[in-house]
Amino acid sequence: MSTVTRRLYLSLFLSFLSLFLMLSGCSEGKHEVKRVAIPVDSVTVIDGDTIKVKMNGKEDTVRLLLVDTPETHHPRLGKQPFGEEAKRFTERMIENAKTIELEKDVSERDKFGRFLAYVYVDGKSLQEELLKNGLARVAYVYQPNVKYVDEYEKIQKEAQKKGVGIWQWENYVQKDGFHREAVGFVASKNSDVYHPADCDVVNEIKPENRIYFMTEQEAQASGRHRSQVEKCWVN
């Protein structure tokens, strides 16, 4: 083998070795989990899937990656069934937390400028807990931020099978979001009357006491009757 040939083989070997080491490093970095702890008392809950964090005098909005909870105060959609329940759930986890950590994926912010993160409360994934309890759906799955989408979808399927939370009604959760019209009536556990879901009186019922019905027949079958709030029944 000539000197030139040996040099060529050596050059090729070193090139392949360099490429292998570079790819190995990328692979390890991809699966490396880096979480940043934030002060518990710096967190304010906006709704089930959005929080605000204040650090060093600056406030930032954090949007939970890969999940969507029903709205609580959307300017167009208003309040949606289980929106308050999801918000209360997130509030309880945050209020009782000893540690809160944020983990980012690839892209740092969305088009609204919100910081995108996986949120962990005392080591538990807030996203997973919301999904387990039927208070969120897997949504806004956009490359490259898809690190945990497979795990989340498995958890969601279990919640669907159990019919918990938002999965009580077949048509409430759809690809484009939550459809309030699929939930027709709401009652309180402590009352023998029911109201249309879009009645303002519903907002006065504590989320943990709300009972939802798809049809008026279902509401009546529970032994309840129409409320006497006339403005709620005007067509």
Find the catalytic residue in 71, 84, 85, 101.
71
Catalytic-residue membership of 114: yes
Return d(Cα 66, Cα 152) in angstroms, integer. Answer: 8
Find the catalytic residue in 63, 137, 180, 224.
63
Find the catalytic residue in 35, 88, 114, 226.
114
Catalytic-residue membership of 63: yes
- Give the list of residues 6+ apart from residue 20 with CB closer than 8 angstroms, or none: none
Catalytic-residue membership of 71: yes
Give the residue numbers marked as catalytic. 63, 71, 114
